[in-house]
Structure 1
Amino acid sequence: MDAAVRAPSGGDSQAWRFLLVDDPTVKGQLAEPYRDSVRLLWRGHYSAQAAAAEADPQAETSRKFLRLRSSVQYLADHLEEVPLLFFAFSRNDRDGSSTFPAVWSAMLAARAQGVGSAMTNVLDIFRPDTTKALLGVPPDRGWTLAATVAMGYPKGRWGVAPRQPAHTVTYRNRWGADPGFSTEEPLWPPTRRHA
C-alpha cells in the first residue's frame, strides 16, 4: 500500500481510499454479486466472442478467448478463496487517471514480492452499490468503486505474460511511424515462484 500512495495524482489530490478484505465472511458476501456480474459479462459484452469461440474452438482467437474465459470464471467460482481483495475507491476522478496509477503501483510492488494480482471492474460496472454497501462505504460521500484487485500467490506456472512486441504497438513522432526500436523478447526475466 505504501507503493500505492507514492503514485502521482491530479493536483496531488490523492483522492483515493483503499480497502483490503481478507475476512472470509466478507469475501463470502461479495462472492455472489461477483459471480452474478461475471454472468452478466458473458451474456452481454462477451456474448459474441463466446458464441464464435464455441462454434470454432480450434481457431487461435477462440483458444485465446476460451483461456481468458476460463481464468475469469475460475476467479468468479473461487472468489472466497482469494487471499486478499484490494478495493480502490476514488472521488472526482472521472477517468481514473489519478487512481489507476496507485492501483498499478500496488500491483507491481506485489509482483516484485512474488504476489500475483488481477484487476477487474465487473463489480463497479454491474454491482457498485451492492459492493459499497457490503463494504460499509459511506453512501453520501461521493466515493466511486474504481477497481477490485484479487491478490495471492500464483498456482502453477507464472511467467511474463505473452503480449504483442512493444515496437508493433508504438509509434514515434507521428501515427504509424517506426518507433526506432525493436523488442522481440521481454526485457526482464520471469519472477521466481513463491516457495
Structure 2
Amino acid sequence: MNGLELLTTTRAFRRRLDLTRPVDRRYLLACLDIAVHAPSGTNRQPWRFVVVQDPAVKQQIAEYYRKGFAAYLSARTPRPDQLADLASGSYLADHLHEVPALVVVCSLGRPPADPSTLRGASYYGSIYPAVWNLLLALHERGLGATMTTAHLAYEREIADLLAIPFDEVAQVAMLPVAHLRPGPAAPPARRTPAAELTSWDIWTL
C-alpha cells in the first residue's frame, strides 16, 4: 500500500487478529526497527520494548488486563455510538492471552505526577510517536495491533512479572500483535473534515 493508504487505513485491530497463527520474531524485530526511528525530545530515544510470547506469562498479564478493563468499564457510561468499540474492547480482553505476541512499550524514567505539565507533554510526546510508527509498520506487513493501556492499573505487578525496574522505567502501552485474518481491506475511516476542526489565528470552534 502507498503512504496515504497506510495512514488512512491503520486501525485499532482487535476482532480481526488471527489468534491461531504465530508471529515470527523476525517480523516483530523488523517493525520495532521502524518504531525506533520516531522523533523524541532532545533525541533521547527513551523507548524500550518487552515482547511477551510465553503462554504462561501472557495468561498472567491477561488476568491483570481484564481486571483493569473491567474497572475502566464500570467507571463510565458509554454513548450509544461507543458501544461497538467497547464490545470490541471486551472481546480483546477476553482473548488477550491467546494473542501471539504482546509488545509492552516502556520509557526510561518515571512520568511526572501531573501529565498536563510541560514535562508531562515532553515525556509522553517522546514515546508515543514510536508506538504509532510500530502500528504503521505492523499494518504495512499484514499484521495488526491496537494500543492498549488497561494493564497500567497493575503496572507494578506486571513490572515484577517481567523484571522491569519499576522505579527507573515506566510502561506506557501494550500492543497485542497478530497476523490479520483474511478480509476486505479497511476503507479510510469516517472522520470529521479537518476544516471543521481548525481555527485560523484565533479559536472559533
1:133 and 2:160 correspond: yes
Unaligned runs of 5+ in 2: 1-31, 112-119
1:65 and 2:91 correspond: no
Q: CA 1:36 to 1:157, structure 2 compared with 1: closer, same or farther past 3 Å?
A: farther
8 Å CA contact 2:61–2:151 kept in 1: the answer is no
TM-score using structure 2 length = 0.72
1:81 aligned partner: 98
Q: CA 1:73 to 1:87, structure 2 compared with 1: closer, same or farther past 3 Å?
A: same
Residue 150 (structure 1) aligned to one of 176, 182, 185: 176
Aligned-CA RMSD value = 1.9
TM-score using structure 1 length = 0.75
Q: Larger deviation: 159-168 or 9-18?
A: 159-168
Residue 34 (structure 1) aligned to one of 65, 73, 85: 65
1:166 aligned partner: 194
Structure having the higher Rg: 1
1:108 and 2:136 correspond: yes
CA shift at 1:161, angstroms?
3.0
CA shift at 1:11, angstroms?
0.9
CA shift at 1:158, angstroms?
5.0
Q: Which structure's relative contact order is higher, taking Cα pairs within 8 Å and 6+ residues apart?
A: 2
Q: Secondary structure at the match of 1:120?
A: coil
Q: Secondary structure at the match of 1:67?
A: helix
| Distance (whole Å) between structure 2 residues aligned to residue 127 and residue 158 of structure 1 | 35
**Percent same amino acid among aligned pairs?**
35
Q: Secondary structure at the match of 2:50?
A: strand
Report Cα offsets for 1:48-88 as digits up to 9, x if no partner: 22xxxxxxxxxxx51x2110111110010000111221111
